[in-house]
Structure 1
Amino acid sequence: MWILVIIAGIFEVGWATGLKYASTPFEWTLTVIGIIISFTLLVRAATVLPTSTVYAIFVALGTVGTVFVDIVLFDAPFNIWMLFFIVLLLAGVLGLKLVTGDKKVERMDEA
């Protein structure tokens, strides 16, 4: 199920970039499709995995990916502090993943 979170994060990078740079109806359509796919995969993963961890990883992937895309494709400025805080963000998400584990969430209808 973690692969769904990773794919959802990749689509998040796409739609977050689209929110800033889309300018044609086609680009906006791709952005909306990206939002739908991203959140569909996120919800699907969160039904099995710990929701808080899934969401934290999703947001971290989207944040780091969007910063990377802005720097590489759109010449956004980059400095050492950005790198520091990205590493800090990733360390926090990794720590959260390590302490929450992969326990299956008990659903209300199964209780």
Structure 2
Amino acid sequence: MAWLYVFLAGFIEIFWVLGLKHADSIPMWIGVAGLIAVSFWLVIKAYDELPAGTVYAVFTGMGTVGIVIVDIVFFDAPVSIAKLALLALLLTGIIGLKRLTGSSASEDGEKEVA
């Protein structure tokens, strides 16, 4: 369940980051603040079961990749082979961290490496 929290938080992060750029009214800013609160709450819940460094790296990495992809697809951001290669490298790191983090907790609350 903790990984679901991380992935949902990363997905929501994409929207609140876009909101930071595009919000232009009080209701939109309230929505952005709400999305930030929800994504951080999900990250905090994930910290209960997973190592903090791994959670934070996956959360921010997912947001970074998501924002770059949204910028390319919807806002015509420039794309290059180098940018795509760096995104692939970042995704590889995110997937690697997720796979190396076990699902059973040890006595000190940290996850064991598989």
Query: Partners in 2 of 1:16 and 1:57 — Cα distance?
Result: 16
SS of 1:60's equivalent in the other structure is: helix
Q: Supply the distance in 1 between the matched residues of 2:94 and 2:10 (Cα, whole angstroms).
A: 13
Secondary structure of the corresponding residue to residue 32 of structure 1: helix
Cα distance between partner residues in 2 of 1:60 and 1:36: 18
The residue type paired with residue 16 of structure 2 is W
1:1-111 equivalences under 5 Å are 1-104=2-105, 106-107=108-109
Instruction: Give the SS at the match of 2:49.
Output: coil
Q: Greater helix percent: which structure?
A: 1
**Seq. identity, %:** 44
| Structure 2 gap segments, 5+ residues each | 110-114
Gaps in structure 1 of 5+ consecutive residues: none
User: Can you list the C-alpha shifts for 1:72-99, whole angstroms capped at 9, x where unaligned?
Assistant: 2212111111110011011112222233
Report 1 or 2 for greater relative contact order, CA contacts < 8 Å, sequence distance ≥ 6.
Answer: 1
CA 1:61–1:14: 2 relative to 1, 3 Å: same
Task: Figure out how many residues of one structure are paired with residues of the other and give that number.
Answer: 107
Matched residues in 1 for 2:17 and 2:71: separation? 11
Q: TM-score, normalised by structure 2?
A: 0.85
Q: Calculate the TM-score normalised by the size of structure 1.
A: 0.87
More strand by share: 2
Would the aligned equivalents of 2:62 and 2:94 in 1 still touch at CA under 8 Å?
no
User: What RMSD over aligned residues (CA atoms) do the two structures have, in Å?
Assistant: 1.4
